Structure 1
Amino acid sequence: MRLLFRKLSYKTKKVENSQMRNERRVIKRKRKKVRWGRVFLLLFILIGGILGIYLYSQYKSGVEQSRKSVGDKQDVYEFKGKQDANGSTNILILGSDATGRDKPRADTIMIGSYNKSKGTYKLVSVMRDSYVDIPGHGKNKINAAFAYGGPELLRKTIKNNFDVDLQYYAVVDFEGFVKLMDEAFPNGVKVDVEKRMEENIDVTIEPGVQQLDGEHLLGYVRFRQDAVGDFGRVERQQKVIKDVGNQLVSISTVPKLPKLVGVVMPYVNTNMGTGDMLYIAKGFVSKDNRNIETMRIPVNGSFEDKRVSGSGLVLDIDQEVNKAELQGFLAK
């Protein structure tokens, strides 16, 4: 019996020792995992911090680079916009030669629309000679609304005529466009110029495929002194915006984005915060298909040229047709 008891005790101790060794091994492995997990976490925080500092320094570098030319002063605009009923974020985008002018002109009027749930990006060009009712000022060309009352009156004009809500505005000085293009594309932007252009654009552009710097690219998208006038200009603007947008998020230019944002921001007067911009830009940068759908107001067959006393030659538009077309385009 004693011998049997000893054998059983020996086996029991042996099992217990084996279990203890296994438990110690498990504890050691867990400790190693915890240590390595902490190391990886610290490395992640360190790399993220360095990257954040780098991105911010690049942004500030771009801002300071532009502020040497434009300074800090910007007009303060009231804007009572709200989100579109379809859940889209609609932005009133205005191109203006604002620098040094008391009453800058809205040379370009666009509506940019982003719908997160649908993943869609849309761009509507509203021709500046469209003859519409401007609240408190009677009928006139739509770009007169900006001169009368800034982005807010233009927002009201679009709402009253087309029943489209605009949540944000962005007034972009043309000089900022030039600075952005030169910084992003030091070798120029490839464009197939269809004809010789020089009248009222301060530069001369020859026909053919070429690399245009910022100043010449601006002249290209502003040119309207030909048979198709503003219609050709709107078409070129939409084409260049789509092409440049895709090139800006290419592998070669993505690292430049923080500085590019900094370069252009002193030339942009907007009620959008940094978070709003990142919210919209994030989807565009990460998407494989960055298709920007475009539209023009007025649509084909919905207007006629008309000369009006005090306004000159205008586009007399069919308001109901264009209202329905615009709402349908933004909603789909």
Structure 2
Amino acid sequence: MKHFKRAALILIAIILVIGISGFGYVYSKLNKIYVKDDVVKNTEEQGTMVEGITNILLVGTDGEYVEKGNRSDSVMLVTIDTNNKDIKISSIARDTYVDIPGYSTEKLTHAYAYEGIDLLKEVFKENFDLDIDKYIAVNFTSFMDIMDELGGVEVNVEEKDIKEINKYIDACYGYYKNKDENDKEYITESGVQRLNGYQALAFSRIRYTDSAFARDNRHREVAESVYKEFAQKGIDTYKRCAEIVLNNTKTNISPIEMMNLAYTVLKINDKDIEQFQFPLEEYRNGHIISKQKGWVLEWDKEPNLEAWHKFIFGEE
């Protein structure tokens, strides 16, 4: 789980790097990604809101579009608990089998593709009894540019994955902004090696040579390598990475709120970020449910939600 912690530290570091450039710069950059909600909910209707606890939904899309039209390849819930001075991260499996209002019972990942963040928040309310107030959505293809900015990342490519990674390279190269300047390069051998942006994204998307859980391990391996490269760079690289992230992000957190949250995280200074994987291994069943809906994770509602809510809100 240390990989999740290090990935979270990267995001926190990016916020801090922007912050040292001055208030005006911070405000102008954050204001570009701020999308004000049309409707403000009545606090009496928000049954899972607890004073002192802020939940932020982090969504990473698997294509070019951050609004909708692409699936949510990664979904995480970051909990900032000022009552107990804790930072917590919940990782929700993309194949979790859920009821999508207006559609059908499908994988969680499809909700964002249908109608974007509003439908995904509705899915959280209907299936997990969680009211989502704040969110940050990121176009994950932008991380190709970050990895190139860092000079690539080192990962271990297994022999069985070479054919599959090259298949995804064809797709990922299509998103690559420098494709007219650089020829497409395939992986020709196994072992530890340095991958560029579109190769690393292709590596992260491998899913048919083993399992969805092995795919999550590859995500963490890439995050680990990004962290190591990031830690060795200077402030100019940090600022360029911040620009890349902000240009491919939308959020309903205002600039002032964002800076306050960054300050709060700094003040908490949690060096041991707690992790939760939903659904729990002992209360889930991964299988192919039908030809149309493919491989999904069915889950036992009561024990999973009881454990998850306790993780987020505490014993009470």
- Identify whether the pair has TM-score above 0.5, normalized to the shorter chain: yes
Contact 2:62 2:70 in 1 (8 A): yes
Aligned counterpart in structure 2 of residue 220 of structure 1, from 199, 203, 221: 203
CA deviations 1:107-158 (Å, max 9, x no partner) are: 2222222324434333322222211122233422212221232111111111
Aligned counterpart in structure 1 of residue 298 of structure 2, from 307, 316, 331: 316
Q: Do structure 1's residue 209 and structure 2's residue 178 form an aligned pair?
A: no
**Structure 1 unpaired stretches of 5+:** 1-50, 61-71
Point out the structure with the larger helix share. 1
Q: Do structure 1's residue 235 and structure 2's residue 200 form an aligned pair?
A: no
Deviation of 1:267 (Å): 0.9
Q: Which moved more, 1:98-107 or 1:146-155?
A: 98-107
Query: How has the CA–CA distance of structure 1 residues 154 and 171 changed in structure 2, closer, same or farther, with 3 Å as cutoff?
Result: same
Q: Could you say which structure has the greater relative contact order, defined with CA pairs below 8 angstroms and 6 or more residues apart? A: 2
Aligned counterpart in structure 2 of residue 274 of structure 1, from 242, 255, 258: 255
Contact 2:33 2:251 in 1 (8 A): no
Query: How has the CA–CA distance of structure 1 residues 111 and 53 changed in structure 2, closer, same or farther, with 3 Å as cutoff?
Result: closer
Contact 2:85 2:270 in 1 (8 A): no
Q: Normalising to structure 2: TM-score of the pair?
A: 0.68
Aligned residue-pair number: 268
Alpha-carbon distance in 2 for matches of 1:208, 1:116? 44
Query: How has the CA–CA distance of structure 1 residues 220 and 284 changed in structure 2, closer, same or farther, with 3 Å as cutoff?
Result: farther
CA deviations 1:40-86 (Å, max 9, x no partner) are: xxxxxxxxxxx7469939x97xxxxxxxxxxx999998686878426
Alpha-carbon distance in 2 for matches of 1:93, 1:259? 21
Q: Do structure 1's residue 123 and structure 2's residue 68 form an aligned pair?
A: no
Residue in 1 that maps onto 2:74: 108
Contact 1:155 1:166 in 2 (8 A): yes
CA RMSD of aligned residues (A): 3.8
Query: How has the CA–CA distance of structure 1 residues 285 and 246 changed in structure 2, closer, same or farther, with 3 Å as cutoff?
Result: farther
Amino acid at match of 1:99: E
Contact 1:306 1:316 in 2 (8 A): no
The structure whose Rg is larger is: 1
Q: Normalising to structure 1: TM-score of the pair?
A: 0.65
Residue in 2 that maps onto 1:190: 154
Contact 1:107 1:128 in 2 (8 A): yes
CA deviations 1:269-291 (Å, max 9, x no partner) are: 22223333333444656777644
Deviation of 1:258 (Å): 3.5
Deviation of 1:323 (Å): 1.2
Alpha-carbon distance in 2 for matches of 1:254, 1:310? 48
Aligned counterpart in structure 1 of residue 142 of structure 2, from 160, 164, 176: 176
Alpha-carbon distance in 1 for matches of 2:72, 2:253? 19
Q: Do structure 1's residue 92 and structure 2's residue 57 form an aligned pair?
A: yes
Q: Which SS does the other structure have where 1:201 is aligned?
A: helix
Query: How has the CA–CA distance of structure 1 residues 168 and 235 changed in structure 2, closer, same or farther, with 3 Å as cutoff?
Result: farther
